[in-house]
Chain A
Amino acid sequence: AQSVTQPDIHITVSEGASLELRCNYSYGATPYLFWYVQSPGQGLQLLLKYFSGDTLVQGIKGFEAEFKRSQSSFNLRKPSVHWSDAAEYFCAVGENEAAGNKLTFGGGTRVLVKP
């Protein structure tokens, strides 16, 4: 069974500083990997995805992530954080079952941005 671990429950960062969110996955085959962001009381918005190809993936809002197979990681980064980036971030791994798609989410990392 696949699993996703986000080691950091909370991260506090100053506005303008860089941000890195960690994600480790456990999955036997080549994974489909995603990062979603969720503002309080809202749905999930896709930031970026990795299916194959270039291991450095660019997303929306200035985010990027790097897939490292040897480390089973898919860490999310942003060079300069804005106050509007304060939210909950979820890493997810997708499994292609014969019956359908299953997304398994990590526990989430809550990002707080200090002025």
Chain B
Amino acid sequence: DTEVTQTPKHLVMGMTNKKSLKCEQHMGHRAMYWYKQKAKKPPELMFVYSYEKLSINESVPSRFSPECPNSSLLNLHLHALQPEDSALYLCASSQTVWGVEGVVTEAFFGQGTRLTVV
């Protein structure tokens, strides 16, 4: 199983709503990521979790709050978003952080959640 599963596939939310994006992998990967992709642009890294601890936060606004409840799950909690936050949110995972135990592996991406903020 080399799959990263994201739910929901589509989400429309108002600017006062609170919602969560979910990501799940069962490959035993210990590094998980959130990326944001605007239309016709490349993905941009938001957060990295390594061994269930937040290791990189790319200066993301606090209205985005990541959570890693266990090694298989990654959530992104959304609150008071703005219309400009509308984008495709991609989750990814990789075996580990590069360099740990000499391992370098690729990142596997989910299909994404298409978020529209109205």
Contacts and interface: CB of A to CB of B under 8 A. Distances in A.
A60 to B, nearest CB: 12
A45 B43 CA distance: 13
Q: Which size class do B's interface residues fall under? A: 20 to 34
A91 to B, nearest CB: 9
A42 B9 CA distance: 10
Interface string A29-52: 000101010000111111001010
Q: Which size class do A's interface residues fall under? A: 20 to 34
Contacts of A51: 104
B31 interface: yes
Interface string B95-118: 001110000101111111010000
A94 B98 contact: yes
Contact of A49 (B40, B99, B106, B109): B106
A101 B31 contact: yes
Given A44-B43, A94-B98, A108-B42, A100 B110 contact: no
Interface of B: 4, 6, 31, 33, 40-45, 48, 50, 55-56, 88, 90, 92, 94, 97-99, 104, 106-112, 114
16 contacts: A41-B88, A46-B108, A49-B106, A90-B42, A94-B98, A94-B104, A96-B99, A99-B48, A99-B55, A99-B56, A100-B31, A100-B56, A101-B94, A102-B45, A103-B107, A105-B43
